C-alpha cells in the first residue's frame, strides 16, 4: 500500500512539474537601464497593435490600461512629453506538434501444412496536435536618445481567442516585474 501511495504521489509531482504555469517571459534591457530614473511615460502613436489606418483596437486599449496601471504603481505619470515611450506588438502563429511513438510489435501466426509461421513487425502511432502560439512584445523607448531601453516578451499557447482585461493585467505585470 505504501509503495502504491509513493508511486501515485511521485506521478502527481511529475505531472505538476510538466503542467504549464503560464507564459514564458523574456526581458532584455540596455546595460545600466534603471526604470526608477524615469518619471513620465506615454504610448507610441500609432501602437504596433493598432490598425494600419491608425484606428485603436480593443487589444491596444486593454494593453494601454494594463501598462498604465503598472507604470502608476511604479510612480510614473502619463505625460505629453514623456521620458519613456511604450509600444506593443502581438503575434500569433499556428503550430503543429507531431509525435510518433512505437506501440510495440505486432505479429501474425498462421499454420501452413502443420508448420508454424510467424510474421512480426513494429507498429507506430502518430499524434498530431495543432495549437496557436501567441507572443506579446512590450518595448520601452527613450525618446531623447531615440533608443530601445528595454523589451519584454510573453509567449504562451493560446487556449482561447478572447483575452480578458485580467489576463492582460497579469501578463503585463509579469513582464514589467522583470524590467
Let me know if domain 22-95+132-177 sits in CATH 1.10.10.10.
no
Walk along the chain (179 residues) and give the pLDDT tens digit of each residue. 444 333 333 333 333 344 456 899 999 998 888 888 899 999 999 998 889 888 899 999 999 999 999 999 999 999 999 999 999 999 989 989 899 888 776 666 666 565 656 666 778 888 899 988 999 999 999 999 899 999 999 999 988 777 788 989 999 999 999 88
Residue boundaries of the structural domains of the chain: 22-95+132-177, 98-127
Q: Judge if pTM exceeds 0.85.
A: no
CB–CB of 169/61 below 8 Å?
Answer: no
Backbone φ/ψ region at 146: left (φ over 0), alpha (ψ -120 to 50), beta: left
Closest CA to 69 of 178, 138, 179, 169: 169
Amino acid at each position: 500500500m505504501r509503495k502504491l501511495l509513493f508511486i501515485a504521489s511521485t506521478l502527481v509531482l511529475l505531472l505538476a512539474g510538466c503542467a504549464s504555469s503560464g507564459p514564458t517571459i523574456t526581458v532584455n534591457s540596455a546595460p545600466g537601464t534603471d526604470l526608477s530614473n524615469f518619471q513620465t511615460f506615454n504610448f507610441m502613436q500609432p501602437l504596433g497593435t493598432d490598425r494600419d489606418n491608425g484606428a485603436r483596437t480593443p487589444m491596444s486599449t486593454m494593453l494601454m490600461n494594463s501598462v498604465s496601471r503598472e507604470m502608476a504603481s511604479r510612480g510614473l505619470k502619463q505625460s505629453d512629453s514623456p521620458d519613456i515611450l511604450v509600444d506593443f506588438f502581438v503575434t500569433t502563429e499556428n503550430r503543429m506538434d507531431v509525435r510518433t511513438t512505437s506501440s510495440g510489435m505486432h505479429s501474425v501466426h498462421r499454420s501452413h501444412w502443420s508448420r508454424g509461421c510467424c510474421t512480426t513487425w513494429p507498429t507506430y502511432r502518430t499524434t498530431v496536435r495543432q495549437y496557436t502560439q501567441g507572443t506579446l512584445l512590450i518595448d520601452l523607448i527613450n525618446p531623447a536618445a531615440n533608443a530601445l531601453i528595454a523589451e519584454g516578451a510573453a509567449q504562451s499557447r493560446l487556449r482561447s481567442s478572447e483575452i480578458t482585461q485580467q489576463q492582460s493585467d497579469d501578463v503585463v505585470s509579469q513582464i514589467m516585474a522583470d524590467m
